[in-house]
A and B are shown apart, each in its own frame.
Chain A
């Protein structure tokens, strides 16, 4: 008997008991629907993280001054004073580096009028807004001339601006005090929200790094360098930077780095890992529902084989071989699971759309998830349909015909 014929017979048999067919399919529908929904939610979370990484700045590489020890007493990270502005110059000249900005950090109380606030003061260079793809809301960023002259100019993050000057006020041109020194506000950054590491990026003040060095901290070294690579392949650039800095700092082979180079990719990978763990968990739940759906199919097929024993006996009497009967019941199980799978895919799409709409959870359904769900459905059908089908095929025609 041809497979096409078998398919027709299977569909006819399933049609004879629509209610039972629907209920059996329900298990499959929920199983496959769960797979699709879970994948959609997992992928959605992952792409959110990727977007956050992108928002933090494209192709970014961070270089922080390392720890150093004096006579065996280790100081905290960033305490080493070996990172110099000239290092930033050297890095800027490296191939694959688009921008580089030397950074010197400070913290302190800032005052404007009758308001005060404690915040980070980040000394940096003119290219920082480009590196971190950060736009300016009011006024402008400082210029190279400001850097050269260590000018007392400040560009505020929105949190600082809102706290000191009131929400949505334009403070450009106002005077404020940072650690009791007067600074002129020349701009306000647009809001950027939380970083990939969970830090509020808007609670900060940008000033020229030279100003931090000379006016606030009184230090020769810098604390960090922020680099933007010209392509998303940041790893080789990071390696080149490490090599350059080691040479400049005259480190011997075997000496530990006195700086740390980190790419955003690395930072994001921690959170991606979390997302992946969650994805695995969701996949396990989906797998369990598929399993339950499959057992449902096996259950119904076993009932069906018993109920149709006489039919099987008759088919055998008129010439059906064992493998014809096997194939018939196997195809019935696969048709059940595939139809269930198709409806389940639709159901999953619906659920994902609902999650996006009502829970504001971003979802993405990759095309291969549909193929995968379809394949799983078919495999479930074959796997759980085989035992009942083999049971049917191994019936003795005489016994089967006598069956009441």
Chain B
């Protein structure tokens, strides 16, 4: 079976003022369907640039990128928009939910830009509900983002990424704004989606311990792949969650607020 994602000699250079920044200097990578690849590296290593190209938000200066059999490296902006809509699900560090818009409406958003599906309103609601249920938020569909905790907001964002049934799920520092427990909860969702539904996941993170939830770690340095290895001792988020003490009730008592605080708004001491 051909790889779902093929990257060949990917080069990306920017000009910032008079300085030429060589963000990617020839990266090669294959990702098979069903893999959970963590891409790590220090800042400036080129992992964000790679993520933008893999996410079809940007085009490489040279090299080839084949996603699900389509060479997307030379596509026009509008064609890329369609690819993003149909084949890629994004999860961002900052959630990027629309404020004053319910969880359900947020999840539905990508479907609105898919004219080819010709979904009726009821079908859209149904698919959005299914996606919300799959991240455990089926009962919160009418909540607004400011009524949800950070972890819940990120789950809504994951549901939004899943609703179009994309080829790959692209997560850019998805735990960057979350505390430890919530991070593990989010990783649990990723692992469940990967194991049970065989969804291919690309996770960008600079935290090594988060990278170990994946099946494979690709380490970047100076625009090149430094190491690319299978994770031998993969972490299991479900088990870790079970081992953690249960989250406190909301609102947390300040004396107990600490490493296990369950909400990004209240935790943070750890």
Contacts and interface: CB of A to CB of B under 8 A. Distances in A.
A278 interface: no
Contacts of B113: 1, 315, 318-321, 324
Nearest to B172: A401
Interface in B68-99: 77-78, 81-82, 84-86, 90, 92, 94, 96, 98-99
Contacts of B90: 317-318
B219 to A, nearest CB: 23
Interface in A52-98: none
* Most chain A beta carbons < 10 A, residue from B81, B84, B100: B81
A398 to B, nearest CB: 5
A322 B77 contact: yes
Interface of B: 52, 55, 57-58, 77-78, 81-82, 84-86, 90, 92, 94, 96, 98-101, 109-110, 112-115, 160, 164
A398 B57 contact: yes
Nearest to B113: A319
Given A315-B113, A316-B57, A323-B78, 18 more contacts: A9-B112, A16-B99, A310-B94, A310-B96, A314-B92, A317-B55, A317-B57, A318-B84, A318-B160, A319-B84, A319-B85, A321-B78, A322-B77, A322-B78, A324-B113, A397-B57, A398-B52, A398-B58
Nearest to B48: A398
Nearest to A9: B112
Interface string A317-341: 1111111100000000000000000
21 contacts: A5-B112, A9-B112, A16-B99, A16-B100, A310-B94, A315-B113, A316-B81, A317-B55, A317-B90, A318-B84, A318-B113, A319-B82, A319-B85, A319-B86, A320-B81, A320-B113, A321-B113, A322-B81, A324-B113, A401-B92, A401-B96
Q: Contact size class for A? A: 20 to 34
B131 to A, nearest CB: 13
Interface of A: 1-2, 5, 9, 12, 16, 310-311, 313-324, 397-398, 401
Contacts of B101: 12
A interface: dominant SS: helix
A318 B96 CA distance: 11
Contacts of B77: 321-322
B82 A321 contact: yes
Nearest to B90: A317
B110 A318 contact: yes
A16 to B, nearest CB: 5
Please indicate which of the listed interface residues A5, A315, A321 has the most CB atoms of chain B within 10 Å of its own CB.
A321
B109 A318 contact: yes
A1 B112 contact: yes
A319 B81 contact: yes
A392 B132 CA distance: 30
A320 B86 CA distance: 11
A322 B77 CA distance: 8
Contacts of B85: 318-319
Contacts of B164: 319
Contacts of A310: 94, 96
Contacts of B112: 1, 5, 9
B124 to A, nearest CB: 10
B109 A315 contact: yes
Contacts of A397: 57
B170 to A, nearest CB: 10
B118 to A, nearest CB: 10
A317 B115 CA distance: 16
B86 A314 contact: no
Contacts of B115: 1-2
Contacts of A398: 52, 57-58
A196 to B, nearest CB: 62
A395 to B, nearest CB: 11
A310 B95 CA distance: 11
B89 to A, nearest CB: 8
B74 to A, nearest CB: 17
A282 to B, nearest CB: 42
Contacts of A314: 92, 96, 98
A315 B113 CA distance: 9
A356 B205 CA distance: 72
Contacts of B98: 311, 314
A311 B52 CA distance: 17
